[in-house]
Amino acid sequence: MDFSSKLLARAVDEMALLPGIGKRTALRLVLHLLKQPSARTMALSQALTELREQSQFCKQCHNISDLPLCDICANVNRDKSLVCVVEDIRDVMAIENTSQFKGVYHVLGGKISPMDGIGPHDLTIASLVQKVRSKEIKEL
């Protein structure tokens, strides 16, 4: 696509780097943002910046959190001996939306994929093994 503005082209290129967003969708989103009041786009920009700078991974389960422990791991009513191992944070959200699971999670942060050069050392498997060895877990 040819653009009359280098700024527009750069914004579209950056937006198109997001998963599932092609050039046409990126252009549509960028043009939509341009039509919004400045305060709206600044709020979006600030929210993304704060997310990047202030969020962290839970030191126990590797879920995304605002604090060292996520709300799930910090909840005293959760069964810490029951652990659901999931690929990523979206899986935690999906299971939590069912309101059925009362244990805690362990987020691997991806899946082993030799074709993509991702091995066990690239995931949070070591901390999971450590939890199992410490006998904290009754059911995995």
What CATH number does the domain containing 27 carry? 1.10.8.420
Q: CATH no. for residue 123?
A: 3.40.1360.10
What is the average per-residue pLDDT within 35-52? 97
pTM of the predicted model, to two decimals?
Answer: 0.81
Asked if 24 and 87 sit in the same domain, the reply is no
DSSP 3-24: -S-HHHHHHHHHHTTSTT--HH
Asked if 65 and 129 sit in the same domain, the reply is yes
Structure-derived torsion over alpha carbons of residues 78, 125, 94, 17, reported in degrees to the nearest 10: 140
pLDDT reading at 101 higher than 90: yes
DSSP 101-133: --EEEEE-SS--BGGGTB-GGGTTHHHHHHHHH
Q: Note whether 114 and 82 are within 8 A (CB).
A: no
What is the average per-residue pLDDT within 54-82? 96
What is the average per-residue pLDDT within 5-9? 95
Asked if 65 and 113 sit in the same domain, the reply is yes
Quote the domain boundaries for residue 94.
Answer: 56-133
Q: 63: which residues sit within 8 A by CB, 6+ positions away? A: 57, 70, 72, 73, 89, 92, 105, 107
22 pLDDT band, cuts 50/70/90, is very high
Better pLDDT: 28 or 1 = 28
Helix, strand, coil percent values for the chain (each to nearest 5)? 50, 15, 40
Asked if 106 and 69 sit in the same domain, the reply is yes
Asked if 63 and 117 sit in the same domain, the reply is yes
Domain count, the chain: 2
pLDDT reading at 79 higher than 90: yes
Asked if 112 and 70 sit in the same domain, the reply is yes
Instruction: Give the count of beta carbons closer than 10 Å to the beta carbon of residue 25.
Output: 14
